[in-house]
Amino acid sequence: MSEVPDMTDKKAEWLFLDFDGVICDSLEECFQSSWLVDHAPVLGEGMPPAAPPDAAYRAAFRACRPFVRSGEDYVVLHRLIAASEVPKSQAEFDEALARVGPEGLAKAKASLYAVRESLLARHRGLWLGWNPLYAGMAEALTRLAGKERARILSTKRPEFIAEILAHQGVAWPAERIIYSGKDRKLDIVGRMAGLESSVLIDDQVEHLDFKHPSCSCYAALWGYITLSAITESTPVLSLERALDLLRDFQSA
């Protein structure tokens, strides 16, 4: 892997940032909310039951986090760990998702979002507390809030991102939080930026194209990425260098 020594992309005209694993360390929220889908899908006013505190269980969930592409995957991951069927690779996890099927995954996704909405309505402080931003990100986003071509591009629904940022004191324009859904992120970048130069920072290598003609892609080392997913030639960024890049973009 190769961390870019100079921020030559500070002249890029567009900036796209993933949310989970780049801006926000949402592992605890994903762990707790997805566990509730099968254990307490309907929440009352009392405190919701906490997910298993077992260290080995949590370690397995954390180790498999890089396999997750979308929210419903967390629900499936809990079920696999509970059944002692912890996936050892992306291929194994994808096979498990295929067994669940589109209908089952859609149901899991809907249930997860229902739990999140219920937590926000009834246990707002608890849920928001599960979503800390990485060090320096609140300040960086505050500086970038006035840059029209700086966008958040995520598989997480924008309303949840907006709630988290507001809780952290970041006034980020709602129209610049882009939900990727099932679309390829670089296709979205292309529709917005066209052939103008852009930067995309993400912690999932499959969202990135390191030979893209107009978008400079970087893998975020501080997120949930695994070192086995990148090669010696992969452009990567530490959190410190990423914050430098964001400062350069803001001042351009």
- What are 134-184's pLDDT values in tens digits? 999 999 999 999 999 999 999 999 999 999 999 999 999 999 999 998 899
Buried b (16+ CB within 10 A) or exposed e, 38-65: eeeeebeeeebeebbeeeebbebbeebb
The structure's pTM equals 0.88
Instruction: Tell whether the model's pLDDT for residue 8 goes beyond 60.
Output: no
> What are the tens digits of pLDDT across the range 48-58?
878 877 899 99
Nearest partner of 217 among 197, 247, 194, 243, judged by Cα = 197
pLDDT band at 6, cuts 50/70/90? very low
* Structure confidence at residue 2 (pLDDT): 55
Instruction: Tell whether the model's pLDDT for residue 5 goes beyond 70.
Output: no
Instruction: Tell whether the model's pLDDT for residue 126 goes beyond 80.
Output: yes
* Structure confidence at residue 4 (pLDDT): 54
* Structure confidence at residue 1 (pLDDT): 56
Q: What is the DSSP string of 82-138?
A: HTT----SHHHHHHHHHHHHHHHHHHHHHHHHHHHHHHHHH-HHHHHHT-PBPTTHH
pLDDT band at 231, cuts 50/70/90? confident
Distance CA 8, CA 22 (A): 20
* Structure confidence at residue 161 (pLDDT): 97
